């Protein structure tokens, strides 16, 4: 799109030059096409694009501003060289006509044409700057996007091992107790791993899949909880196919199970997407006997991903109280989800 804008500036400049030529002929009551009109137009055109494609790119140095003066005078020299060759060498040889008096030196010709060439060199150099700036801007945006993608991939790879580690600990506990729930737990974990292995490679998944992860995780955890009825889940999803980054909500639920008190307490989980604003609310009670110094890994991970994926489009409130932990997250989905 930006390259198209530069092209339109080129077209506009040459239309302006042609219009100015026609206007001057009308003002000065000239008729017919003067050969000098052709030669100066050709000198302008050739000087313009030699400067645009070769001189400005060759001499420009952002650390040496004085080189722009060099660009200007080299551009003027090229313009003068083209015009001098046509008007003082080619025309006299073909027609016997010349623009300047015979014997005019090249130095005089150069000095006299600084005025006529200045606009051409100035506009040509500035249009090259536009193209250069757009190219640099596109490259910068590309590098930013690549860095964001690399960060997200790194963050997502942190989630999977952390998630597996916690689940294996739970299953180990069930196996150690010879619980009948061990086999169903392994089946649940296998189901979760199939989901995560397949979908973590994607940039986005549907909201119903993300909630499916959460429901599978809760189903796995219910196998080890004495009072699973205390896990209150309220779901009101109107746009199940809306896109969301995979494993963005799961760490909050995982954190609740890892550090929550489920002996005679549960948690409240509410998920809704009214007006395409995702509202995720989770309230659980802490297990005061468990103090894990690594408890913040999953939460910090989500915070970083939210900043990258939804800058100024999300609100995350976390209340880390003495005996309670509350997460209140809202995400405004981007327009491409419409």
322 occurs within a structural domain: yes
Q: Following DSSP, what letter does each residue of 231-273 receive, concatenated?
A: EEEEEE-S-TT-EE-TTSSHHHHHHHHHHB--SS--EEEEEE-
Tokens of 305: 């991903």
- pLDDT grade for 297, boundaries at 50, 70 and 90: low
Among 141, 171, 188, residue at a domain's last position: 141
Amino acid 278: pLDDT: 95
Indicate whether 194 and 254 sit together in one domain.
Answer: yes
- pLDDT grade for 305, boundaries at 50, 70 and 90: confident
- Is the confidence at residue 236, as pLDDT, over 50? yes
155 occurs within a structural domain: no
Tens digit of pLDDT for each residue in 197-225?
677 677 788 999 889 888 888 887 887 78
DSSP 178: T
Spatial distance between the Cα atoms of 201 and 159, rounded to a whole number of angstroms: 12
Helices (H), the chain: 2-27, 35-50, 56-59, 67-84, 91-95, 106-112, 114-176, 182-199, 207-222, 250-259, 297-309
**What CATH number is attached to the domain comprising 295?**
3.30.565.10
Indicate whether 250 and 202 sit together in one domain.
Answer: yes
Amino acid 317: pLDDT: 95
Work out the angle at residue 277's Cα, subtended by the Cα atoms of residues 272 and 283, and round it to the nearest 5 degrees.
45
Tens digit of pLDDT for each residue in 95-146?
878 888 887 888 888 888 888 888 899 999 989 988 888 888 887 777 667 6
**Half-sphere exposure (CA, 13 Å, Cβ side) for 267?**
29
| Count, residues in the chain | 338
Tell me the pTM.
Answer: 0.55
166 occurs within a structural domain: no
Indicate whether 14 and 132 sit together in one domain.
Answer: yes
Tens digit of pLDDT for each residue in 250-282?
889 888 888 888 888 889 999 999 888 999 999
Among 94, 120, 141, residue at a domain's last position: 141
Indicate whether 109 and 216 sit together in one domain.
Answer: no
Indicate whether 55 and 187 sit together in one domain.
Answer: no
User: Which is higher by pLDDT, 2 or 157?
Assistant: 2
Amino acid 294: pLDDT: 47
Spatial distance between the Cα atoms of 286 and 266, rounded to a whole number of angstroms: 10
The interaxial angle of helices 35-50 and 114-176, nearest 10 deg, is 30
Domain carrying residue 103: 2-141
172 occurs within a structural domain: no
Indicate whether 204 and 63 sit together in one domain.
Answer: no
């Amino acid at each position: 799109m930006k390259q198209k804008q530069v092209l339109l500036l080129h077209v506009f400049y040459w239309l302006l030059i042609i219009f100015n030529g026609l206007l001057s002929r009308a003002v000065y009551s000239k008729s017919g096409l003067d050969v000098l009109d052709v030669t100066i137009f050709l000198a302008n055109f050739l000087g313009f694009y030699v400067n645009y494609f070769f001189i400005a790119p060759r001499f420009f140095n952002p650390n040496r501003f004085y080189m722009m003066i060099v660009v200007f005078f080299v551009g003027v020299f090229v313009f003068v060289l083209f015009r001098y060759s046509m008007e003082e060498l080619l025309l006299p040889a073909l027609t016997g006509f010349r623009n300047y008096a015979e014997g005019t030196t090249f130095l005089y010709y150069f000095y006299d044409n600084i005025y006529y060439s200045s606009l051409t060199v100035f506009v040509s150099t500035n249009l090259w700057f536009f193209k250069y700036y757009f190219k640099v801007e596109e490259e910068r945006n590309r590098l930013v996007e690549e860095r964001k993608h690399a960060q997200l991939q790194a963050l997502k790879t942190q989630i999977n091992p952390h998630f597996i580690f916690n689940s294996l600990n739970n299953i180990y506990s069930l196996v150690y107790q010879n619980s009948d729930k061990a086999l169903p737990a392994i089946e649940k974990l296998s189901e979760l791993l199939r989901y995560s292995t397949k979908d973590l490679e994607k940039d986005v998944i549907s909201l119903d899949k993300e909630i499916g992860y959460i429901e599978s995780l809760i189903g796995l955890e219910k196998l080890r909880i004495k009072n699973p009825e205390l896990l209150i889940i309220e779901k009101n999803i109107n746009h199940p196919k809306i896109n969301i980054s995979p494993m963005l909500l799961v760490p909050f639920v995982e954190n609740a199970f890892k550090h929550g008190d489920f002996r005679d307490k549960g948690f409240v989980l509410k998920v809704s997407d009214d007006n395409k604003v995702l509202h995720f609310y989770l309230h659980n009670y802490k297990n005061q006997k468990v103090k894990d110094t690594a408890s913040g890994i999953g939460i910090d991970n989500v915070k970083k991903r939210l900043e990258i994926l939804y800058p100024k489009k999300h609100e995350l409130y976390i209340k880390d109280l003495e005996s309670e932990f509350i997460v209140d997250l809202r995400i405004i989905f981007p327009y491409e989800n419409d």
